[in-house]
Amino acid sequence: MNNKPFIIPLICSLFVGCSNKPASIASIGSAGSISGYHSIRVMNIKDITGENAGFGYGAISSYSGKSADIGAIGTPAEITGFWAKYNIEGEKFTAFYNISKQIDSKLAGLKINALREYYKSFKTANTAMQLIVDGPRVRLLYTMNCFSKLDDCTPKENADPNGWVVRSPDNTTEVVVLFDGTGDTSDTPFTGSPYDK
């Protein structure tokens, strides 16, 4: 009797820690805006395994904004959150937003792989997921942080036939857009939101 088919998976699970869980795509996240001051109280990205990453960094006003460790996040599948537009001169919120939408994780995964295979020689573990709010608009970007002033960011020949790789909002590196959508808008805080006091 041949026990090899049983023994190999057993050894793998006991000693190597094999897993069917998809690999992490980023451990750093940032939240920002290119249209002035906003407040992000709650913003969660759920990946295809059900893991969550929070981008609720409070007051933000520039790209790429505030950064933090988001743990090991995989391909995104869902976005939920509450944020608000802030008038710094009047020191008050002028509009409130919320969102709860699915992300096309299959397309997001293809875009992530396109960027990972984009550069001729650049390799990094310094990847990041960036959340950008501009009024009701929300974008989720993914970048490998290749900066031509410091790195060789030469793309491979025919590296992006689908045109998914674009320049970052500050025109310093390449990103792919994993989500671009619009949340609901209100002049008053949404019931149950962090702004509802």
pLDDT reported for residue 22? 53
DSSP state of 119: B
pLDDT band at 149 (very low <50, low <70, confident <90, very high): confident
Q: Which amino acid is at 94?
A: T
Looking up tokens 């009047």 gives: 90
Strand partners, 98: 82, 184
In contact, 175 and 141? CB cutoff 8 Å? yes
Handedness of CA 142, 148, 150, 156 (dihedral sign): positive
Q: What is the pLDDT averaged over residues 56-69? A: 94
Q: How far apart are CA 60 and CA 99, in angstroms?
A: 18
Structure tokens at 15: 């000693």
> For position 89, what pLDDT does the model report?
81
pTM of the full structure: 0.86
Residue 190 is encoded by which pair of tokens? 């949404």
